[in-house]
């Protein structure tokens, strides 16, 4: 059989994969609705709907007919270039099938149901700042993760199995030294650059600005950077996220606080970066596993690029200030771009990860990963988690935790069973800085951003990152785009450069 005509088995495979992709999009729509529109009383029913859908997806992915098609295509694919889209499609599909087959359908559905219910338990526990009300739901999640991990024996480390869900191929052996070296670089940097704890916050973006005015101002900024009203939506959500439902259907969210325009603006830019990644995946990959983002670490590198590398950089802020002066008249009288640059690059050790500045942020991640590994190794019991959390915050950030809501209960991830996820935030920050070095070499990026020209950056990201979808592994993608494996140095150098420019560090 020639490699130029598609064998019938491939046509049948594509039909099955398109249906699986549609089912995945329907699941995404349920998730989007749950987090934007759904009344809270629907949570138990939504948990059942999500579990039912998961059972259907799991059934189709583990259907022996699908594996038979892959087997039938083996001789054909052997003649293809291993980097061709067809060869990669088969490899990625086989990987998905082999992982799904290992997990019994009941366990897969149970994990999905527990995720929806665990989020509800977390919400209630957080509202009362009481970990004991979350304890049983979390213990259930840890137990389910142990059962999931057991499906993949033998493995080098149990946490490797969980990391692989979010960052394919990542291992503890690789992650632990990376985070240790990052921690060693960051702790003294925070000490040297941080404001003393009682310094008043910079108030430049605190308004007050009416929510409707903020919504209009943020929309204008997002449309300038690349939000397309014909194919995107922007809605409010208490915990902002992005969801791609299909080609031409990108949903992003942000949150509004009358006294914090920065929150709406930077969450909006962050989620825009996620949305743009999915919007720019090669249309030829649509409704196949290649048409999906390759990993959460790479995904986060894209959100951080727009939120931080672009959004908190001096060139962009000069342009932004002009925009804000027009859309929020009177709100920025007497404010200069350098003032804004210093205000959005303050360094202050704090309790809440999502509000943390770029310098302290990754220490929040380091502490979560340390605790998760200890839980999975059995060195830490669920009941001891709040105390271990509080001690780690004190050790890494030098602040003391007043209650569980501002401590161990602050993030939804553990309620949803997402153990192994947090590391991808730091991988994203590191990868964004490493990609940015390359952007700076290839584009006249500072001048472009200062003029409000975003098309060249969007095109660069499409070419080097977005369009590939899952065609390359996260590691391959980064090596192709930057010439090397993930390193901490580009991030630390970027951070030091910015802290010097903001007058927080003396040049070395």
Catalytic machinery residues: 271
Instruction: Tell the smallest beta-carbon distance from residue 155 to Zn ion (Å).
Output: 27
Helix (H) or strand (E) holding 246: strand 242-246
Least distance in angstroms from the C-beta of 361 to Zn ion: 12
Question: What spatial distance separates the first Cα and last Cα of the chain, rounded to whole Å?
Answer: 63
292-351 residues in contact with Zn ion (CB under 5 A) are 300, 303
Q: Which residue has tokens 């946490």? A: 159
Residues 346-375 that bind Zn ion (CB under 5 A): none
| Residue 254, H or E segment | strand 249-254
Q: Would you list the DSSP string of 153-165?
A: -S-S-HHHHHHHH
208 preceded by a cis bond (ω within 30 of 0): yes
d(CA 336, CA 331): 12
Query: Of the two residues 119 and 303, which places its CB atom closer to Zn ion in the complex?
Result: 303
Nearer to Zn ion, 160 or 300 (CB): 300
**C-alpha triplet 426, 431, 434: angle, nearest 5°:** 135
Considering the complex, what minimum distance in angstroms separates the CB of residue 303 from Zn ion?
4
H/E stretch holding 409: none
- CB closer to Zn ion out of 137 and 298: 298
DSSP annotation string for 284-332: GGTTSGGGS-S-HHHHHHHHHIIIIIITTSHHHHHHHHHHHHHHSTTTT
Which structure tokens are listed for 88?
């990669």
Strand partners, 242: 252
Question: What phi, psi does 254 have (nearest 5°)?
Answer: -150, 175
Shortest CB 427 distance to Zn ion, Å: 12
Q: Is the CB of 103 or the CB of 165 nearer to Zn ion?
A: 165
* DSSP output for 34-71: HHHT--GGGHHHHHHHHHHHHHHHHHHHT-HHHHHHHH
Least distance to Zn ion, CB of residue 258, Å:
24
Query: Count of residues binding Zn ion (CB under 5 A)?
Result: 2
Beta bridge partners, 249, equal: 246
What minimum distance in Å lies between the beta carbon of 461 and Zn ion?
A: 15
Give me the least distance between CB of 444 and Zn ion, in Å please: 28
Answer whether 72's CB lies under 8 Å from 89's CB.
Answer: no
**Should residue 390 be labelled a site residue for Zn ion when binding is judged by CB under 5 A?**
no
Ramachandran sector of residue 167 (left: φ over 0; alpha: ψ -120 to 50; beta: rest): beta
Specify the residue, 303 or 482, whose C-beta has the smaller distance to Zn ion.
Answer: 303
Q: Which residue is nearest to Zn ion (CB)?
A: 303
DSSP bridge partners of 244? 250
Nearer to Zn ion, 300 or 372 (CB): 300
> What gap in Å lies between CA 387 and CA 403, rounded to an integer?
11
Positions in the binding site for Zn ion (CB under 5 A)? 300, 303
């Amino acid at each position: 059989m020639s490699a130029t005509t598609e064998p019938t088995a491939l046509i049948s495979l594509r039909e099955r994969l398109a249906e699986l992709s549609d089912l995945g999009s329907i699941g995404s729509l349920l998730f989007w609705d749950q987090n934007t529109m759904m009344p809270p009383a629907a949570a138990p029913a939504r948990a059942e709907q999500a579990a039912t859908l998961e059972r259907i997806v799991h059934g189709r992915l583990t259907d022996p007919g699908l594996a038979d098609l892959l087997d039938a295509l083996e001789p054909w694919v052997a003649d293809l270039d291993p980097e061709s889209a067809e060869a990669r499609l088969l490899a990625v599909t086989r990987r998905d099938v082999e992982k799904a087959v290992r997990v019994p359908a009941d366990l897969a559905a149970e994990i999905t149901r527990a995720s929806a219910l665990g989020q509800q338990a977390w919400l209630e526990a957080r509202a009362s700042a009481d970990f004991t009300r979350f304890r049983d739901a979390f213990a259930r999640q840890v137990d389910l993760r142990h059962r999931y991990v057991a499906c993949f024996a033998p493995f080098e480390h149990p946490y490797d199995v969980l990391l692989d869900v979010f960052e394919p191929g990542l291992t503890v052996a690789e992650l632990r030294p990376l985070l240790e070296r990052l921690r060693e670089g960051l702790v003294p940097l925070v000490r040297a650059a941080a404001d003393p704890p009682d310094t008043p916050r910079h108030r430049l973006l605190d308004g007050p600005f009416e929510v409707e005015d903020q919504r209009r101002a943020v929309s204008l900024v997002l449309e300038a950077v690349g939000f397309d009203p014909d194919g995107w939506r922007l809605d409010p959500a208490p915990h902002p996220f992005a969801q791609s439902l299909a080609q031409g259907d990108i949903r992003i969210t942000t949150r509004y606080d009358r006294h914090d325009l920065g929150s709406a603006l930077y969450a909006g830019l962050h989620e825009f970066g996620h949305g743009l990644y999915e919007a720019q995946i090669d249309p030829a990959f649509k409704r196949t596993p290649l048409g999906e983002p390759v990993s959460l670490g790479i995904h986060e590198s894209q959100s951080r690029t727009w939120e931080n590398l672009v959004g908190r950089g001096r060139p962009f802020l000069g342009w932004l200030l002009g925009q804000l002066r027009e859309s929020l008249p009177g709100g920025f009288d007497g404010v200069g771009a350098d003032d804004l640059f210093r205000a959005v690059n303050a360094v202050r050790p704090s309790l809440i990860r999502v509000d943390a500045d770029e310098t302290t942020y990754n220490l929040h991640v380091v502490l979560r990963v340390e605790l998760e590994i200890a839980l999975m190794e059995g060195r830490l019991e669920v009941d001891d988690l709040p105390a271990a959390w509080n001690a780690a915050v004190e050790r890494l950030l030098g602040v003391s935790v007043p209650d569980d809501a501002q401590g161990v209960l602050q993030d939804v991830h553990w309620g949803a069973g997402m153990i192994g996820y947090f590391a991808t935030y730091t991988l994203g920050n590191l990868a964004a800085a490493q990609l940015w070095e390359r952007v700076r070499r290839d584009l006249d990026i500072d001048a472009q951003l200062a003029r409000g020209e975003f098309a060249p950056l969007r095109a660069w990201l499409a070419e080097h990152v977005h369009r590939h979808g899952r065609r390359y592994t996260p590691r391959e993608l980064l090596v192709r785009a930057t010439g090397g494996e993930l390193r901490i140095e580009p991030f630390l150098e970027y951070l030091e450069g910015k802290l010097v420019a903001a007058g927080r560090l003396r040049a070395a």
